[in-house]
Amino acid sequence: MPISPSPYNFTDSLALLWRNVAGPALHNPAGVSFAPHRFTLNEVHTQTRIGFAGDIMMMFGRPLSFGTQLKSFLADCSHVVANLEGVITDLPKRGPDQKHTPDILDALATLAAPEKFALSVANNHSGDFGEAACRESAARFATRGFRIFGMAGKPFVDLDDQVRVVTGTEWSNRSGEHLAWLKNPQQFRRADAINLLFPHWGHEMNGYPRQAEYAKAQEFLRHFDAVIGHHSHTPQPVSRLDTDAGPRLVAWSLGDFCFGLGHKRWPALKHYPWGVVLKIGIGPRLHDAGSRWAIGEVEWAFTDCARQKDSNGFCTEIVERVPYFTL
């Protein structure tokens, strides 16, 4: 897959500008649906739980906090995997570049211990300030105890002896030679583990996957136990798919985990606060001695990164619903 200097062609770019005002495209060409908020893929003896969040976007210097329900949701997770858009840098920002201030480190540490986090940098904004800035930022996170993966030499992370997460991006707004790309990700799977694919794929401001993404997911599920995506900036369904290898999990896109531009009163920005947080239980199958581990219970919820009325800050918290879907 060639490295793309821009995520979209001219037509896609115009469509994205329109969706920023009108809201996400909600046609559903592949006919995917939301699974229940809590369901079981396989009967397992749960040994570990892993949480997943979507895009960690820049906060524009505004304080970020997390609500009690979200903290409770992730409290029993041994690991939390998320997509880190942009880098910590002092270099000047241009246009849609994504850059963080150092306080993002402190904010995330209030949600879970840094060593629990595995943050992917395989996305369309990790190249905004060049390779050197990306690597310097990654080192800064690592110094604080966060695990960083998603560069060309590190396209996966082993969360423990039983779970591998593989990532890759379809897009880069600028030069992205230093990033892991979504090209034959199955080459990085581990035969003796649960293999989870965490791709940066699809199209922004789409509430459902396009037919091409559905076809890709079907292919990926021949090699991975689950596909958990990001990049759309709006939630997409969490689905249970039946395959020849058994039931599989696809979270088409987790949307935004946090963003300091999600102002609900501003027409061009009000569609960016929403996301999905996901939790899976993993362990050996019941009634099947000696079998490989499997995904058992799956739980998910919508999130809202909301501007706080009494401060300049934002708080990400679990909510019952978002404007675009009736479940």
pLDDT in tens, 195-215: 999 999 999 999 999 999 999
Question: For the chain, which residues make up each domain, given as ranges?
Answer: 56-319
Residue type, 18: W
> What does the alpha-carbon distance between residue 238 and residue 6 come to, in Å, rounded to a whole number?
28
Nearest-CA neighbor of 193 among 285, 284, 293? 293
Query: How many helices (H) does the chain have, and how many strands (E)?
Result: 5, 18
8 Å CB contact between 79 and 159: yes
Section 128-150 average pLDDT: 98
Question: Does residue 85 register a pLDDT over 50?
Answer: yes
What does the mean pLDDT of the chain come to? 93
pLDDT, tens digit, 9 for 90 and up, residues 145-190: 999 999 999 999 999 989 999 999 999 998 899 999 999 999 999 9
Domain 56-319, CATH: 3.60.21
Q: How far apart are CA 242 and CA 155, in angstroms?
A: 27
If pLDDT is split at 50, 70 and 90, which confidence band does 13 have?
confident
What is the structure's pLDDT at 262? 76
Q: Is the pLDDT of residue 325 over 90?
A: yes
- Greater confidence, 70 or 310? 70
pLDDT band at 288 (very low <50, low <70, confident <90, very high): confident
Which of 179, 183, 177, 150 has the alpha carbon at shortest distance from 166?
A: 150
How sure is the predictor about 274, in pLDDT bands with cuts at 50, 70 and 90?
A: very high
For residues 159 and 189, what is the distance between their CA atoms, to the nearest angstrom? 13
> What's the pLDDT band for 323 if we cut at 50, 70, 90?
very high
Residue 2 has pLDDT above 50, yes or no: no
Structure tokens that stand for 270 in this block? 């009000």
pTM for the whole structure:
0.96
Q: What is the CA radius of gyration of the chain?
A: 18
Classify residue 47 as exposed, middle or buried by CB count within 10 Å of its CB (0-12, 13-18, 19+).
middle
**244 and 261 in contact (C-beta within 8 Å)?**
no
pLDDT at 290: 64
Q: Per this entry, what is the length of the chain? A: 327
Residue type, position 171, single letter: W
Close Cβ partners of 197 (under 8 Å, ≥ 6 residues apart) = 165, 166, 167, 185, 220, 223, 224, 226, 227, 228
- The phi, psi pair for 200, rounded to 5°, reads -95, 100
| pLDDT at position 11 | 79
Portion of the chain with pLDDT greater than 90, in percent: 83
- Please tell me the predicted confidence (pLDDT) of residue 1: 40
The pLDDT > 70 percentage for the chain reads 97
Buried residues in 173-190 as b, exposed as e (16+ CB within 10 A)? bbebebbbbbeebeebbe
What is the per-residue pLDDT for 263? 77
In this model, does residue 3 exceed pLDDT 90?
no
Distance between CA 30 and CA 39 in Å, rounded? 22
Look up residue 307 and give its two tokens: 């501007």
Is residue 247 pLDDT above 60, yes or no? yes
Sign of CA dihedral 38, 307, 83, 136: negative
Provide the pLDDT for residue 287: 78
Report, as an integer, the average pLDDT of 237-263. 94
Of the candidates 26, 73, 80, the residue with the CA atom closest to the CA atom of residue 50: 80
